[in-house]
């Protein structure tokens, strides 16, 4: 299912914490990954279009930035 909710995983406690709402368009089949201390969401699509954007999440700032 598509979602705009941002979650943070804490592996030492094995817990998930809701961090807010993703500011990009609601999407299906996106890819998420992390590099260093930042998280990224890219690609995916909706029922009528595909996305070629990249969003960066900095947990220290708790905000999304589009690159």
Give the pLDDT confidence of 3-50 residue by residue, as tens digits. Answer: 778 888 899 999 999 988 888 888 888 899 999 988 898 999 888 999
Which residue range is the domain that position 25 belongs to? 5-66
Q: What's the pTM?
A: 0.72
Identify the pLDDT of residue 1. 65
Q: What residue spans of the chain are helical by DSSP H?
A: none
The number of domains in the chain is 1
DSSP class of residue 52 equals -
Separation between Cα atoms, residue 13 and residue 23, nearest integer Å: 27
Would the CA dihedral through 2, 5, 22, 15 be positive or negative? Answer: negative
Identify the pLDDT of residue 27. 85
């Amino acid at each position: 299912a598509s979602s705009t909710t941002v979650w943070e995983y804490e592996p030492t406690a094995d817990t998930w914490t809701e961090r807010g709402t993703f500011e990009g368009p609601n999407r299906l089949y996106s890819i998420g990954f992390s590099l260093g201390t930042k998280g990224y969401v890219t690609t995916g699509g909706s029922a009528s279009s595909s996305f070629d954007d990249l969003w960066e999440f900095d947990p220290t700032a708790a905000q999304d930035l589009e690159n």
